Amino acid sequence: MEQRLLELAYKAADDKRAEDIVVLDMKGVSLISDYFLICHGNSDKQVQAIARELKDRAEESGYTVKRLEGFEQARWILVDLGDIVAHVFHKDERGYYNLERLWGDASFVEVSESI
């Protein structure tokens, strides 16, 4: 089930043309979630569209969206799907926060878009 949600989230972000989508395996690194999906958009509207698509696709497939934070500001939107937390950044903010470096102990995960 976790793999299916991960693929669904990846495809939702990709369908809204999210850039540089990466997935980090957070198991054993953080208690927050099992995976982080990190991506960015180039405008406020695109960042919001990516987050909205993640939320809508998850709910349509029967998953619960626990939290959605930062939507109005559209600089860093957090979509909490439980085992997976998606971080949707505005391009300008992504480099500043650099979550990939911050969580450098986490390994990268290849995600197929088979759905």
- Which 3-state string (H, E, C) describes 48-87? HHHHHHHHHHHHHCCCCCCEEECCCCCCEEEEECCCEEEE
113: in domain: no
SS3 state of residue 45: helix
pLDDT at 113 (0 to 100)? 53
**Cα-to-chain-centroid distance, residue 79:** 7
Q: Structurally, how many domains does the chain consist of? A: 1
Specify the pairing of strand 76-80 against strand 67-69: antiparallel
Convert the pLDDT of each residue in 45-80 to its tens digit: 999 999 999 999 999 999 999 999 999 999 999 999
Structural domain containing residue 70: 2-108
CATH number at residue 8: 3.30.460.10
pTM of the model: 0.92
115: in domain: no
Mean pLDDT of the chain: 92
SS3 state of residue 91: helix
What is the distance between the alpha carbons of residues 41 and 94, in angstroms, rounded to a whole number?
9
